[in-house]
A and B are shown apart, each in its own frame.
Chain A
Amino acid sequence: MPTWFERIIKIIFFKKCNYLMSVVIKSEHLSKKYIISHQQREKYVTLRDVIAKKAKSFFQSQGQLNNASPHHIAKREEFWALNDISFKIDQGDRVGIIGRNGAGKSTLLKVLSRITEPTKGKIQIKGRISCLLEVGTGFHPELTGRENIYLNGAILGMHRAEIKRKFDEIVDFSGVEKFLDTPVKRYSSGMYVRLAFAVAAHLESEILIVDEVLAVGDAEFQRKCLGKMQDVSQQEGRTVLFVSHNMQAITNLCSRVILLNKGTIIQDDAPSKVIRDYVMFETSNDGSVFWEENSAPGDATIKLLAIRILDEKNNIQNHFFSKSKIRIQFDLHINEVNDDLVIGFDITDEEGVVILRTYHNDSKQEEWPALKKGNNIIYCEIPGEFLNVGTYYISPKISLHCKKWILNADPLLSFDVELNHGVSPFWNVLNKTNRPGSLALIIPWKNQTEIFN
C-alpha cells in the first residue's frame, strides 16, 4: 500500500515539476533587419522628398534608360540588429541579457514584447507577457500620482479592478502616499521612479521583461526593486528577463545569462562564467579607447571621444604598480553645457563587482573642472597605495543627474595592478589569495591597553 501511494505521489509530483519547468519562451532563428539610409540627414521620410525622388527618377528614366540611380541603392545599408537568435527559456528562469551598446539587447526585448516585428524567425510565448522597457511609460506630468497609477496600469495591460485591488500595495511599495494627489511634475525624480516601478512591479503577468530600470533611484530603492524581482521569480514562479549593464545586479538576480554581440548569441551559461568572459574579452587592454566623432557614444549634447589610462609621465599604460597614481582621462566634445551633467566612471573587479564610482563633481564646487562648449579633456587620479593586485575595469558613465543616462556603458577598458607598496615583511609577499579584497590600504594599528589600565 505505501509503495503504491508513494508511486502516485511521485507521478503527480513529477508531472507537476514537469509542468513547472515547461518552456515559456521559445525563439527560433529570430532576426531583425533595419535599413539605415545614409542618404538623408533627417530622421524621418518626408512626403516632399518622396515626391521629389519619384519625379527625379521618372525624368531620369525618361532621359537615360537603366540609370535608375545605382548610387541610390548603394547608400541604403542593411543592418541586422538581431541575427539568427534561438533560445529557450523555462518557467521561473531569471535570465540576464548582457552585451555592448548596439549588441541587440533592446531590439530583442522589443521583438519579444511585440513592440516591433521580427524580419525572420518565430517566437512562441506561453502566458501573459509584460515589459518594462522604461518605467513610467505614459505618465503624464500634469496628472496626480493617483491618476497616473491608473493610467500607467492600464497602459501596462492591467484592468481597473486589478489596479484598484492592488492600489494600496502599490502606494505602500512606492512610499509616496503623502503626495498621491500632487501632480507628478512636482515629484522629485526619485519619487517619480519609485511610483513608476511600484506600478510595474505589481503586474500579474507570467513573464516580466525588464530593461535597465534599476539604473535610476537611490541604492536602497534599487535593492528593494531587486528584491521584488527575486520574489516575483522565486516565490511566484514567474519568469524574468533582465537587461542591464549592472553586472552586480545581474549576478545577484539571474540564474542564467545570455551574452549578445552584434545581434548573435555568443554565450548562454551561468552568470559568473559569462560575466567573467564578457568582461575579459570585451575590453580593451591597451590602456585607451578612441571613437570617431560620428560613432562616439553619447547624445546630441555630449560625446565621449576617448578614454585613456595614463601613468604619472602621461604615457598610455595598462600595467601599474600599486605605488603609483593612475590617471583616467576623458576626451569629450560638449555641444551644450548643462549644469546637471555628471561625468564619471565605475571601477569594477574581475567579478563585475563595483569597487567605486566617481564623478567629476563629487568634490567641493570650487574644485570641479569647468566644462565648456567644444572639446574638453578632463581627468582624475586614482591614488597610489590603494588598489590590491588584480585586473580592474573602467565603465564610463555620463548622465544628467537623476534625470537620464546619456552613457551607461559596460567595462570598456582594463588595467592590471601589481603590488609594490608596503614595507612590512607580513605585507610584502601579498597576492590576492592570501590577502583578499580589492583594496590594499595599509591601515595602522595601535595598542591602547595602557590608557585603560
Chain B
Amino acid sequence: MVIEASRSNKNYWSDLWKYRELFFFLAWRDILVRYKQTVIGLAWSLIRPFLTMIIFTIIFGRLANLPSGGMPYAIMVYAGMLPWQFFSTSFNDSSNSLITNSNMLTKIYFPRMIVPASTVIVNFIDFLISFALFIGLMLWYHYVPSWTILTLPLFFVWVVLISMGTGFYVAAVNVKYRDFKYIVPFVVQFGLYISPVGFSSNVIPDKWRLLYSANPIASIIDGFRWAITGDTHFIYLPGLFLSMVITLLFLLFGTLYFRRMERVFADLV
C-alpha cells in the first residue's frame, strides 16, 4: 500500500467493501441508541407521519379542497409522505453525521463515506415502520392497491440515491462550514412546500410541470403515487426523465465533492 501526497487512494472502493460490516455496525449502533432510554422510541416513527398526514389531509383535502385523483386523500398524502420523510430525515441526519462522529474521524481510518451512508440505513428502518402504518391505513379505507405497487422498490432505490447524493454533499460542506447546519432545516422546510407532499402534482399547471420536476423529490412522490394507484395521470414522463438525470448528477457531484473533501476531514473537524 502506498500513501502519497494528493493522490487519490486506489484502494478506496475495495476498502469500502472491506469495511462493509462497519456500515451495518454504525447503523445498528444508531438504532440501538435511539431506542434505548427513550419512552416513545418506536412510536415516534409512527406518530410523526400519522399526525402530519392528518394535518395535511385536513388543510389540503378538506379546507383547500384540492383534488386527490380518485383515491382517499389521506392515502395520497401518506404515499407522498413516505419518500419525503425518508429523504428529509436522511438529509438532515447525514448533514450532522460527520460532526457527531468527529472523534472517530480524527482517530481511525476508514472510508468516510460509511458515516453519512449508514444514516440512510437507519432511516430505512423508520421507513419500514411507516410503511407498516401505511398498510394499516389502506386496510382502514378498504383500499386495494394496483399491481404496480410491485415497482415501489424501484422508486425506493431512487429516493435512496437522491438521499445519498445530497447527503454526501451536505455532510462534507458541513465539516468545512459549520454554520451550514442552520441552513439545513430551512432547506428541509422549504422542500416540504415545494414538493407535492400535501397535494397532487396535477394541480401544477402543465407548462410549469417540467420545471417543477427539476426537484427530483416531486417525481419520486409522483412515482410512489403511481405505483400505489396504477393511475397513469400521476406520472409526467419528461419530468420523470429530467428528475432522473438530476438525481444522477447529484449523486455524481455529491460523491466527487465528498471524495475531494475527505482528505482534509481529519484536519478540519
Partners in one complex: yes
Instruction: Write out, one digit per residue, whether chain B residues 242-269 have a CB within 8 A of any chain A CB (1) or not (0).
Output: 0000000000000000000001101110
A44, B107: Cβ atoms closer than 8 Å? no
Cβ of B236 under 8 Å from chain A: no
A154, B3: Cβ atoms closer than 8 Å? no
Q: How far is the CB of B177 from chain A (nearest CB, A)?
A: 4
Report which of B22, B29, B108 forms a contact with A140, defined as CB distance below 8 A: B29
Report which of A45, A110, A134 forms a contact with B177, defined as CB distance below 8 A: A45
| Bound Cα distance A129, B108 (Å) | 11
Most B CB contacts (10 A, CB to CB) among A126, A131, A137, A183 go to: A137
Among all A-B residue pairs, the 8 with the closest Cβ atoms? A47-B177, A114-B109, A154-B25, A46-B179, A116-B266, A123-B3, A137-B107, A133-B107
> Residue of B at shortest CB range from A27?
B3
Q: How far is the CB of B111 from chain A (nearest CB, A)?
A: 10
Q: Other than A117-B5, A126-B1, give 20 A-B pairs with Cβ distance below 8 A.
A: A50-B177, A110-B106, A114-B3, A115-B105, A117-B6, A119-B5, A124-B3, A133-B106, A133-B107, A137-B108, A138-B101, A142-B32, A150-B25, A151-B28, A155-B22, A155-B25, A157-B18, A157-B22, A159-B21, A183-B36
> Residue of B at shortest CB range from A153?
B25
CB within 8 Å: A-B pair count: 111
Cβ of B138 under 8 Å from chain A: no
| Bound Cα distance A160, B21 (Å) | 7
Q: Which residues of B contact A13 (CB under 8 A)?
A: none
| A interface residue numbers (CB < 8 A to B) | 34, 44-48, 50, 110-126, 129, 131, 133-134, 137-138, 140, 142-143, 147, 150-151, 154-157, 159-160, 183
A143, B2: Cβ atoms closer than 8 Å? no
Cβ of B178 under 8 Å from chain A: yes
| Bound Cα distance A210, B191 (Å) | 47
Q: How far is the CB of A266 from chain B (nearest CB, A)?
A: 23
B178, A46: Cβ atoms closer than 8 Å? yes
| Bound Cα distance A209, B3 (Å) | 16
CB contact under 8 A between A115 and B106, given known A123-B3, A124-B1? yes
B177, A46: Cβ atoms closer than 8 Å? yes
| B interface residue numbers (CB < 8 A to A) | 1-6, 9, 18-19, 21-22, 25, 28-29, 32-33, 36-37, 101, 103-110, 176-180, 183, 263-264, 266-268
CB contact under 8 A between A140 and B178, given known A34-B267, A154-B21, A155-B22? no
For this complex, 16 residue pairs linking A to B, each with C-beta atoms less than 8 Å apart, are: A46-B178, A113-B108, A113-B109, A117-B264, A120-B5, A126-B1, A134-B103, A138-B108, A142-B37, A147-B29, A154-B22, A154-B25, A155-B22, A155-B104, A155-B108, A157-B110
CB contact under 8 A between A122 and B4, given known A44-B268, A50-B177? yes
> Residue of A at shortest CB range from B3?
A123
B3, A122: Cβ atoms closer than 8 Å? yes
Q: Which residues of B contact A142 (CB under 8 A)?
A: 32-33, 36-37
| Bound Cα distance A112, B2 (Å) | 10
Q: Which residues of A contact B110 (CB under 8 A)?
A: 155, 157
| Bound Cα distance A119, B264 (Å) | 11
Report which of B36, B108, B268 forms a contact with A156, defined as CB distance below 8 A: B108
Q: Which residues of B contact A45 (CB under 8 A)?
A: 176-178
> Residue of A at shortest CB range from B175?
A44
> Residue of A at shortest CB range from B183?
A47
Most B CB contacts (10 A, CB to CB) among A118, A125, A131, A138 go to: A138
B1, A125: Cβ atoms closer than 8 Å? yes
Q: Which residues of B contact A125 (CB under 8 A)?
A: 1-3
Q: Which residues of A contact B183 (CB under 8 A)?
A: 47
A115, B108: Cβ atoms closer than 8 Å? yes
B22, A147: Cβ atoms closer than 8 Å? no
| Bound Cα distance A126, B263 (Å) | 21
Q: Which residues of B contact A117 (CB under 8 A)?
A: 3, 5-6, 263-264
B29, A131: Cβ atoms closer than 8 Å? no
Report which of A110, A156, A157 forms a contact with B266, defined as CB distance below 8 A: A110
| Bound Cα distance A115, B32 (Å) | 27
| Bound Cα distance A363, B23 (Å) | 50
Q: Which residues of B contact A138 (CB under 8 A)?
A: 101, 103-104, 108
> Residue of B at shortest CB range from A127?
B1
B3, A111: Cβ atoms closer than 8 Å? yes
B103, A137: Cβ atoms closer than 8 Å? yes
Q: Which residues of B contact A112 (CB under 8 A)?
A: 3
Q: Which residues of B contact A129 (CB under 8 A)?
A: 1
B21, A147: Cβ atoms closer than 8 Å? no
Q: How far is the CB of B157 from chain A (nearest CB, A)?
A: 26
Q: How far is the CB of B7 from chain A (nearest CB, A)?
A: 9
> Residue of B at shortest CB range from A137?
B107
| Bound Cα distance A154, B22 (Å) | 5
Q: Which residues of A contact B36 (CB under 8 A)?
A: 142-143, 183
B178, A122: Cβ atoms closer than 8 Å? no
> Residue of A at shortest CB range from B176?
A45
B180, A47: Cβ atoms closer than 8 Å? yes
> Residue of B at shortest CB range from A162?
B21
A118, B109: Cβ atoms closer than 8 Å? no
A118, B5: Cβ atoms closer than 8 Å? yes
| Bound Cα distance A124, B4 (Å) | 9
B29, A143: Cβ atoms closer than 8 Å? yes
Q: Which residues of A contact B25 (CB under 8 A)?
A: 150-151, 154-155
A134, B107: Cβ atoms closer than 8 Å? yes
| Bound Cα distance A133, B266 (Å) | 13
Q: Which residues of A contact B22 (CB under 8 A)?
A: 154-155, 157
B3, A143: Cβ atoms closer than 8 Å? no
Most B CB contacts (10 A, CB to CB) among A34, A117, A140 go to: A117
| Bound Cα distance A151, B177 (Å) | 29
| Bound Cα distance A26, B225 (Å) | 59
Q: Which residues of A contact B21 (CB under 8 A)?
A: 154, 159-160
B4, A118: Cβ atoms closer than 8 Å? yes
